[in-house]
Amino acid sequence: AMKGALGTIVDACCVLAVVAGTVGPIGFLGLQVSFGLDKLFGIPDTYTTQVVILFSLIGIYTLSAVSGVTKGIQLLSRFNVVLAVVLMLFILLMGP
């Protein structure tokens, strides 16, 4: 492990890189989901809708982190697999 001022600078750069790499995609996802909800269900694509979506995502991420890395990631992974199977079945049944 790096010690001293150089270690502190490296740690700070790593934290900033993780934050920048996480916050940008989450913000963009909020815009995409809000646009999709507007086109599919007529829910207005407004700033309020985007903020509600972002806080929902933050809540999911927080619950995942609080429940422990192993348990939280396992729960999200299982949910992701279920969604993928549902999407696959939907495409199989409703596709051409």
User: According to the model, what pLDDT value does residue 1 have?
Assistant: 60
Split at pLDDT 50, 70, 90, the class of 9 is: very high
User: According to the model, what pLDDT value does residue 76 have?
Assistant: 82
CA–CA separation, 28 vs 50, rounded Å?
A: 10
CA–CA separation, 69 vs 45, rounded Å?
A: 33
User: According to the model, what pLDDT value does residue 92 have?
Assistant: 95
CA–CA separation, 21 vs 4, rounded Å?
A: 26
Check: pTM over 0.85? Answer yes or no: no
